[in-house]
Amino acid sequence: MPTSDDAFVHRVAEAIASGVAVEAGDGSAAIDTDTQRLDALLRGGDSVSGWRLWTNSQCLVTTRRFAATPRFADAALASTRRGWPVFVRVSGGTTVVHRPGILNASYFEAWRGDGGEVTRRFRIFCEHLATSIRSVGVSTCLGHVDGSYCDGSLNLVSGGQKLAGTASLVRRRGDTIGLLSHASIGVTGQVAVDVEAIERFEAELGFQPSYSEDVHTTLEQRLMSAPARADP
């Protein structure tokens, strides 16, 4: 039987893409599956456009830029010893958290033409997620959240707090454009623990992160703190 946390994750997944099973991932293999599926879609292989919904074991996911810094190996080892192994993704941004209680939503599509459609299609993805989250009772909009980790202009936001970060990856094969749109949605769990794990890792890289746990939230926290409102 699923735990109540698992049940809530599956409820949110059903709101996003009805009938798509939630995959339980484990570390780097779960992360790499996204890029592998995008590449397969561009090759015209077995992969098809559509949704992938998945969770991951507890880890930090950082960028190639951070992985290229001189202190990366030592910082990653220290983080792993604290229970937060570090893996590297191909998209940009800064470090994020994966763990049970965070639902990763990935959408794959390909089309013939130039890259002019990318921005519009990515925004449609983000707006669909916002609508889906509102359907489970949490008011949601898109925007920046000052003081959040891996901040972006199309975060999913509720009550001024960040529920999810979003990102995209674009690849081309001949005259075909492939787009991976992705979000990591905080459904349950302790955001203070997430923020501390990221701050310690990035500080050990030699940066000076200054994130606030107060500007992060989960769907569970939003449902517990206040009734749903018509506007975020």
Sheet holding 86-89, edge to edge: 86-89, 59-63, 96-98
Contact 118, 136 (CB under 8 A): no
**Integer Cα distance of 135 and 107 in angstroms:** 19
Instruction: Respond yes or no: is residue 141 known to be catalytic.
Output: no
Contact 155, 166 (CB under 8 A): yes
Q: Which of 59, 126, 141, 150 is catalytic?
A: 150
Alpha-carbon torsion (128, 231, 229, 182), positive or negative: positive
Contact 155, 136 (CB under 8 A): no
User: In the block, which residue shows the tokens 């009734």?
Assistant: 227
**Integer Cα distance of 170 and 116 in angstroms:** 11
Phi-psi region of 113 (alpha: psi -120 to 50; beta: other; left: phi over 0): left
**Integer Cα distance of 18 and 25 in angstroms:** 20
**Integer Cα distance of 199 and 208 in angstroms:** 8
Give the active site residues: 150
